[in-house]
Amino acid sequence: MANLVDEARDLQEEIVAHRRYIHQHAELSMDLPMTTAYVTEQLKKMGYEPQSICQSGIVATAGRKRPGKVILLRADMDALPITEDTEEPFKSTNGAMHACGHDLHTAMLLGAAKLLKEHEQEIEGTVKLMFQPAEETLLGAKTMVEAGVLENPTVDMTMMIHVATGMPIPAGLILTPGSGSFSATSDWFGIKIQGKGGHGAMPEMAVDPLIAASNIHLGLQSILSREMAAADSVVVTIGKYAGGQTANIIPDCAEMEGTIRTFDNAHRDFVKKRMNEIVEGIATAYRCTAEVTFGNGCPSVLVPKEGSVDFAQIMEGLFGASSLVSMEDIMPGGKLMGSEDFAFITEKVPGIMSVLTAGDAREGYVYPQHHPKAIFTEDVLYRGAAAYAGFALEWLQKQS
Ligand SMILES: [Zn+2]
Ligand SMILES: [Zn+2]
């Protein structure tokens, strides 16, 4: 299997070209016409019959020559609404930017698609390639699951890779996940506080929603400090806090928006329940009314024990033990507080989430993902392609 890494290295230039095209044509959420046209054309050139199963969702299969299980490899293709501020010669100039590295994922999976075609006779079962839209808006994986990506043929195992930059870690390492929750659950919320506007000089005639908002902001923090165990990892962040127009007017209403992160659906439900109670109680105490609304969120990515052991063994066989890193090496506390909509897949089918390091902060890759100056090293692209293809081939062989 070490040969597969050499074969992938031979495709490096091609994978870089894929990455640069996709990077330069960054597109958002569910609307990826240029990206999907490119991916479809490349897959057809390799001999695949790609299917569009929903808006901007592409599936192609390799293998099916021999009986066996079905493994799904997933790449996301969407960018972020950020104006790129890098010096890359292939930078995007359309107001959207691949600042999370999904362009690398798509290019790596195209590289893997080529390797799998070349090894198609050896595939002991079926490999399904999933190119999804809208990871950043948490809509893509869910939409593709609803469109049947896990059926016909029914998927037994899944795997994805996310690149990482901006940390003081050498590039080209592969994270071997432990079992259990890999990423946090994610929920968005909005709070509307209704008071009664009035003259700033006569507060007794008004009901000030900003007083209620201030106390609600502080009150919500007590859920974490007083109601959750210290070892539980929960975040409640208010990222937007708005109300009022000018100095001498008491506003009519105030608004807050924020996000909740947990690693457990029970915590997720508990935080939401307590938020409702605290917001309503504090608003009432200050003579206001308030409403909390929750937006579409996603669960945790769950990695099964057996799959994580298989993944580590296969990656060690491909790249050697010195190329592997653990979660503790990459994330403070060994947990990813970010979320991944791949969780909608691991809710149904066992799956592996891995990380490929793609930019060492000590070597100039100082900006984190989602930053307008974030850059990634392309040197690692062939490794991602080999990891995708190698895991699929070997996992299927282990099952047969
Ligand atoms: Zn992202
Ligand atoms: Zn991402």
Closest-approaching ligand to the CA atom of 103: 2
CA 98 / ligand 1 centre spacing (Å): 9
User: How many angstroms is it from 109 CA to the middle of ligand 2?
Assistant: 15
Could you give all domains of the chain from N- to C-terminal order, each with its CATH number?
2-181+300-399 (3.40.630.10), 185-294 (3.30.70.360)
For ligand 1, an ion, list residues with CB under 5 A.
100
Q: Using the mean position of ligand 1's atoms as its centre, give its distance from the Cα of residue 355 in Å.
A: 13
Give per-residue pLDDT as tens, 302-356. Answer: 999 999 999 999 999 999 999 999 887 777 777 788 899 999 999 999 999 999 9
Distance between Cα 202 and ligand 1 center (Å) = 47
What is the pLDDT, as a whole number, of residue 41? 98
Q: Which ligand is nearest to the CA of 164?
A: 2
Q: How many whole angstroms from 374 Cα to the centroid of ligand 2? A: 13
Give the pLDDT confidence of 161-211 residue by residue, as tens digits: 999 999 999 999 999 998 899 999 999 999 999 999 999 999 999 999 999
For the chain, what percentages of helix, strand and coil (3-state, to nearest 5) are there? 40, 25, 35
Q: Which residues, including other chains, have CB under 8 Å from residue 128's CB and lie 6 or more apart? A: 59, 60, 61, 70, 71, 72, 73, 149, 153, 155
User: Are 193 and 241 spatial neighbours (Cβ–Cβ below 8 Å)?
Assistant: no
* Cα 112 → chain centroid: 20
Tell me phi and psi for residue 124, to 5 degrees. -90, 65
pLDDT (0 to 100) of residue 245:
96
Ligand 1 center from residue 267 Cα (angstroms): 24
Kindly report each contact of residues 320-324 with a partner whose C-beta sits within 8 Å and lies 24 or more positions away, as own/partner. Answer: 323/172, 323/173, 323/174, 323/383, 324/173, 324/174, 324/175, 324/176
At 66 the pLDDT is: 80
Task: Take residue 377 and report the two structure tokens written for it.
Answer: 């090293």
**CA of residue 162 to ligand 2 center, whole Å:** 7
In the predicted model, residues of the chain with pLDDT beneath 70 are: 1-2
What is the model's pLDDT at position 161? 98
Question: What pLDDT does residue 29 have?
Answer: 98
